[in-house]
Structure 1
């Protein structure tokens, strides 16, 4: 069995100035869709008791199936043994509704759909029914959740945006805003690091945060080049996988400029022959596929045809390859210092 590439460091952790440790602190994860099960898995495998909450039984059942399957895959990928996987699953209690889950929670992770009305209703219920010390992390990927929360919750709400699959990818984007204190932000960052995550703190809120904004810019150029006949979909993906992706694992974006040379980078940005792609909020490459129901993995085809393979089968293949990458990166994945 290969050792995991990070270890939990439980001593001395606090959240909202209270001890936060396995065996005493309880975590409620609200939402068992794409993100909730993976987030629950991370806390549970580090010894915390978890309440995974959903509003509908089929969605809750699907979430628990996803969590169990993710643990099975960790065993297959040799980053977890079978006994540890069983113990992790036993720490997760599935619940319909959020009332029982939040009643005794020390940390509430909100991972409900990206709908302002749904989030507003959840925050109101949390403010009314959760313990007064319970901290709320929102997993929103774009929204200004601070404007949706009642005043009673504002001082203990922050954004902790995980990335799919959350039990594999280390990044968590953290956004704190007054009246939440700097100390609460620092405690949350320390907890995330203890969970093997690589938190980054935004100095201020901006819609979409960091990575989704970078992806919008990358997508804009990609869609434009494909629609303009410059390159095929498959060849563009090959180009990225064999150049940008491996180099970014080591250098990120900004340090790559240092290796290129800042004077050359400035000259390249000023090159009048390179024209940026126009802003197009409905590129035909996307719109045409959406119109005919080719939505991606969930529908069996999108930019690629998946040959009848199920979404679960494809997810397992993706995650197995990601585990291979993460194991190869080792500590660089969670502590990516400049070289």
Structure 2
């Protein structure tokens, strides 16, 4: 099936970026959000992302303008999904909200449309109308998706096999890196690994063993280079599997339990240090606007991505 017309429902942090991803891939995109202010802000966010991609040399100005021309805003969900081949759901991670959105999509989208949810952890399939189950799947992205290539594809219990294959072919054609699951795995791979890293990092800080800076230095100067080149499982091959087995058998490391509590984060958030957009989190960002910080992050990611592609002999 050719997926040429895409509707993106939700224009926030992920939604506007996913509209850009699909437009860069050549799709005609209609973007909708129930909040008019969020929808109105989306074009400027998309232009800023395109400017960063152009500055990094990842695309030309003409390519960016062509992608922007393929995106239109829809005031209503019905208008957005009318005639769509693919409907991308990128609304807030609340079951009741998603259920309502899927019901409205069901009322207005063509019966042949594929419904793809960007959910991170929710099992969305019970929230999707029965008649849509065969054409529904998860297509989960990582921010910023116009730079990070990984996309997790997972079917529901009734998803037709060709739906996953159509999505895999579409995103591979975009130059992305789909990982296809045979069932929904909550958190997929990357989020589950990040969850374990979060728990261990917060445990070490809360116990007073290390600082946030120590953790970042250890990751940046001890792990990142090898992980970027080898991945984790191949890194174990290079370490030697007997050594890995012996380390586990020694039981000198016990992972932290997850009791749902995060004292370190609670203290920071209570102090107004909730992250980059607040001007501080584990680090102080001073008066530097959040948009500038995100732009600098994206430029560094793009330069690293280009370097790794060159190192591995991959085409852009």
TM-score (norm 1): 0.89
Say which SS state the counterpart of residue 308 (structure 2) adopts: helix
Q: Does 1:159 align with 2:124?
A: no
Q: Does 1:71 align with 2:58?
A: no
1:140-179 alignment runs, 5 A limit: 140-179=119-158
Of the three residues 301, 317, 329, the one matched with 2:308 is 329
* Equivalent residue, structure 2, for 1:111: 90
* Equivalent residue, structure 2, for 1:245: 224
Alignment partners' CA distance in 1, 2:292 and 2:23: 24
1:1-339 alignment runs, 5 A limit: 14=1, 19-20=2-3, 25-330=4-309
Say which SS state the counterpart of residue 294 (structure 2) adopts: helix
Deviates most, 282-291 or 192-201 = 282-291
Alignment partners' CA distance in 2, 1:59 and 1:238: 36
Aligned positions, number: 315
List runs of 5+ in structure 2 lacking aligned partners. none
Q: After superposition, give the CA deviation of every residue in 1:139-176 in whole Å (9 maximum; x if it has no partner).
A: 00110000110101111110000000010000001111
How far did residue 211 of structure 1 move? 1.5
Deviates most, 91-100 or 273-282 = 273-282
Alignment partners' CA distance in 2, 1:333 and 1:111: 33
Alignment partners' CA distance in 1, 2:189 and 2:301: 22
Q: CA RMSD in A?
A: 1.8
Deviates most, 141-150 or 39-48 = 39-48
How far did residue 248 of structure 1 move? 1.1
How far did residue 94 of structure 1 move? 1.3
Alignment partners' CA distance in 2, 1:183 and 1:333: 32
Deviates most, 326-335 or 269-278 = 326-335
How far did residue 321 of structure 1 move? 0.4
Over 3 Å counting, the alpha-carbon distance change for 1:97 and 1:250 in structure 2 is same
Alignment partners' CA distance in 2, 1:139 and 1:27: 14
Asked if structure 2 preserves the Cα contact closer than 8 Å seen for 1:30 and 1:54, the reply is yes
- Give the structure with the larger helix fraction: 2
How far did residue 222 of structure 1 move? 0.8
Higher RCO, 1 or 2 (CA under 8 Å, sep at least 6)?
1
Say which SS state the counterpart of residue 323 (structure 1) adopts: helix
Over 3 Å counting, the alpha-carbon distance change for 1:273 and 1:47 in structure 2 is closer
Asked if structure 2 preserves the Cα contact closer than 8 Å seen for 1:220 and 1:280, the reply is no
